[in-house]
Amino acid sequence: MTAKQDAPLLSDLLPWSVPPLRPGRAWVTGPDPAALRRRWNALVAAGDAAERARLLRPSRARTLHTAVGQLPGQATATGSLADAAGRCPEPVRYAHGGHDLRWLLPDHRLLDAARPELWRVADDRQLYVVEWTAPPRGSDPPLLCTAVLPDGRSPSGRGGRIRPLHRRPGGHEPNLAPGLTALLTERLGRPVAAADVLAWAMAAARPGAGGCAVPLPADAGLWERGVALGERLVWLQTRGAHDRGGPAGTRPRMPGGRRPYVRAPLPARGLPADCAYDADEEALLLGAGRIAPVPAGAWAYHADGVRVLEAWCAARSAAAGADEAEPLAALGPDGWLPEWTTELLELVTVVALLAEAEPERAALREEAARAPGIGVAELRAAGVLPVPARARRPASVLDHQEEGPGGQFALL
């Protein structure tokens, strides 16, 4: 039976998954950490309870009086927000849509659904795969990989499932179907690690109504080619944070002569109204600013039907944060930040290289779908499937105490 007819689902290969984060209010996230600190300061400066509640924007999950514990690994207060004072929680990086690295206030009292189980396993050894719950639009890649905590949402706002590579901190206990790597090692005649399975999925997964199918090849040569391609995709999507798939210790760069540069600087005051692309000049235009060369493939690169570069720029435009229901969201930078230019140049590089790799990924996906493989029937016969229920639940990772509501230590 061919792999296309009998391919297992990603949900069986990486069985533990977490729903998307749900902040519940836009003002607790953004592209500028200094703006988040100003928003927090404005909240705690409001002495009147009604004004503080208006600024918070209460929800069914979070009000000024909601009692919740700390997020794992975050030294934030656990008292009532009605009495909150003092310094802002230190903003942390997170990934929106896989490609946009933004900032988040990691205070559990501010986030409707922060997914603490993800924070417990977050460290510099962790990788996260985001799988859209509905098939992506067009030919967009069905999976994204990040090295920082993702919110699990596409640039269009659609939710997905977040699948960590490891179930415990420190790169311990892979989030794989028990026995999978042992079976692949035996069938392929070479060692197979958890990171190899993730890399293969990044290269070979194909979307479907029931989730991403991941054909597992029986041919070692095809497996090696797919893993090598997947490692490069992971290296690109994590900006070089993943130490396989690119030159060790380096970040993605375009070849000499094709590297994007700032040809006309963005003004320090005021934000661009929008961005545009000049195909003849291969230039990205943001108000008076101009970056080139930007390959057409980079501008056209989509995630879930949305242009990645266009969505990134829109989040840093003059229209961002304009929501009358959330006055704190309007507190943003007065002008373009220098660090945004650095981030944009890197993003242009990443999506340009991903676009160049897309034909190879599409060809390998089709080859893997046609080739004889290790299908569901063989996985069942080997005892790899069905996945035991415990593998779909978070592991117990508490070797330390966590502060619960009001400063009480949680007994978990």
CA gap 204, 132 in Å, rounded: 16
Question: What mean pLDDT, rounded, does the chain reach?
Answer: 91
Task: Find the range with the poorest average confidence among 9-13, 247-251, 307-311.
Answer: 247-251
Predicted pLDDT at 97: 87
Strand partners, 18: 162
The pTM (predicted TM-score) of the whole model is 0.93
- pLDDT tops 80 at residue 170: yes
Confidence of residue 245 (pLDDT cuts 50, 70, 90): low
Predicted pLDDT at 241: 85
- pLDDT tops 60 at residue 412: no
pLDDT in tens, 8-43: 999 999 999 999 999 999 999 999 999 999 999 999
Across the range 278-301, mean pLDDT stands at 96
- pLDDT tops 90 at residue 123: yes
Across the range 93-112, mean pLDDT stands at 96
> Residue holding tokens 């963005």?
266
Predicted pLDDT at 155: 83
Predicted pLDDT at 397: 61
CA of 363: how far to CAs of 166, 203, 222, in Å? 29, 10, 12
Q: Which residue has the higher pLDDT, 299 or 2?
A: 299
pLDDT in tens, 151-163: 999 888 888 999 9
| Share above pLDDT 70 across residues of the chain, in percent, rounded to a whole number | 93
